[in-house]
Amino acid sequence: MSSDATPVPYTDPLSFGQRVQLLRTRRGMSRVVLAGLVGRSSSWVKQVERGEIQTPKLGMILRIAEALRVRDLSELTGDQSSLPVGLFVGPGHERLPAVAAVINAFPSWGAGDREASPAAHLRARVARAWAARHSAPNHRDVLGALLPALIQDAQLAVRQAESGAQRRAAQSVLAEVYALAQFFLAYQPEPALLWRVTERGMMAAQESGDPHAIGVAAWLAAQAHRDSGPAHYEAADAVVSDTLRYLEPLLPGAATPVLAITGALRFEAAYTAARRGDAGTAWGHWDKAREVADRLPGGYYHPVTSFSRPVMGAHAVTVAVELRAGGEAVRQAAAADASVIPSRPRRARHRIEQARGYRLDGQMEAALATLESAFEAAPETIRYNGYARGIVLEGTEAKSPDRRRRAAALAVRIGILAA
């Protein structure tokens, strides 16, 4: 999901260190936590903030940007011409204006509405949209083309529902359409729009009374909170724990999708704990998620979260990476089989997590090679992923000419450097 993209209103001149301190405190992050995230000591961070040591090289600046989740490197450097690259917010998809227009439009309640499609018909369209997303290399383009009509039609179905049962069914479909929209809006330069859709999805799911819809909406809301920074980790945990308390009593005899979304929520708890640096809690939640995955049918793959047996290996890589354990991340990457992940964007995301692990372990050549594989699987996943963009840019400043050329070629392919 995108980070809080509101620029910090600095008054120049401020040093690099002062900017780091302001952004760190704004995030509610201690020096100890920032130091752990960038692989240095808290005293080193203190020296940087006080200006007692020189501004770090680009590679370390990118790591600090990643840890603080700033919108643009200029927020750290103060130089508007020094790589104004939105690391965690993509450049904006060409279909974003059309999707935003439908989301922002106030739905008409007039009598001139056309007849709404039945909820079952809409649900079939949503299922086809998920399938198309998983199979398409340019999945945002696919979703961006489908979403305007899907959003309008799902809203219309809710408005025209004639009974409580029809309305609940329509709200369940609408909640899933908003989930599709959240996948499209992730890493786009519209954080307010993302939150608007997140909240609407939660409301539609609650109105539906559908346990699966409620679980999916909570899963997405937890990600939105977590990606807003350390000050919001508790909110992410609260969403997950409250929803698990609701879902877990329903599991005996529950349909497979409800079981799967419960496992996906368990992993979200692991993810947040890992980002907090709590290894024991993170791996404990991962173990519980794996127990749920083992109860799923062998070939099952949850259409929204990708939760399944095969994806647990990829999830293990993510936990290790977020814990900044490079060696463990590489070990988990070697054990995980990406080829069994059927979703192209999820497979690309796994490759990006592998690349992060290689970078943490000092294996930059392997990191770049893995990102090339991610590009082949789903170009739009790497193009809009801040971690991938950061690793590629770091590679363009490498001492090795071969590595610089390789990174520059990839940077051109994903659109962050001109040809």
- Pairwise pLDDT comparison (412 vs 4), residue with the higher score: 412
End-to-end CA distance of the chain: 29
- Phi, psi of 321, rounded to the nearest 5 degrees: -65, -45
Q: What is the CATH number of the domain that holds 37?
A: 1.10.260.40
- Phi, psi of 155, rounded to the nearest 5 degrees: -60, -40
**Are 350 and 415 in a shared domain?**
yes
Question: Which residue range is the domain that position 41 belongs to?
Answer: 16-77
Domain stops at, among 77, 112, 147: 77
Note the pLDDT of residue 2.
39
List, as own/partner pairs, every contact residues 305-312 make where C-beta atoms lie below 8 angstroms and the sequence separation is at least 24, other chains included.
305/216, 305/219, 305/260, 305/261, 305/264, 306/341, 306/343, 306/346, 307/260, 307/261, 307/263, 307/264, 307/267, 308/260, 310/337, 310/340, 310/341, 311/341, 311/346, 311/350, 312/286
Average pLDDT, the chain: 88
pLDDT surpasses 70 at 108: no
In single-letter form, the type of residue at position 366 comes to: A
**Are 60 and 163 in a shared domain?**
no
Domain count along the chain: 3
Mean pLDDT, rounded, for 114-130: 92
Whether residue 316 lies inside any domain: the answer is yes
pLDDT surpasses 80 at 266: yes
Whole-number Å distance between alpha carbons of 414 and 417:
8
pLDDT surpasses 80 at 336: yes
Whether residue 172 lies inside any domain: the answer is yes
> Per-residue confidence at 115, pLDDT binned at 50, 70, 90?
confident
Note the pLDDT of residue 231.
83
Domain stops at, among 178, 209, 240: 209
Whether residue 282 lies inside any domain: the answer is no
pLDDT 10s digits, 149-196: 999 999 999 999 999 999 999 999 999 999 999 999 988 888 889 999
- Pairwise pLDDT comparison (108 vs 256), residue with the higher score: 256
Note the pLDDT of residue 41.
87
Note the pLDDT of residue 330.
95
Residue 384 tokens, joined: 């809009």
Mean pLDDT, rounded, for 278-307: 96
pLDDT surpasses 60 at 4: no
Whether residue 121 lies inside any domain: the answer is yes
**Are 45 and 96 in a shared domain?**
no
**Are 38 and 105 in a shared domain?**
no
pLDDT 10s digits, 38-84: 778 889 999 999 989 888 887 788 778 877 877 667 778 776 544 54
- pTM, whole model, 2 decimals? 0.81
Note the pLDDT of residue 5.
37
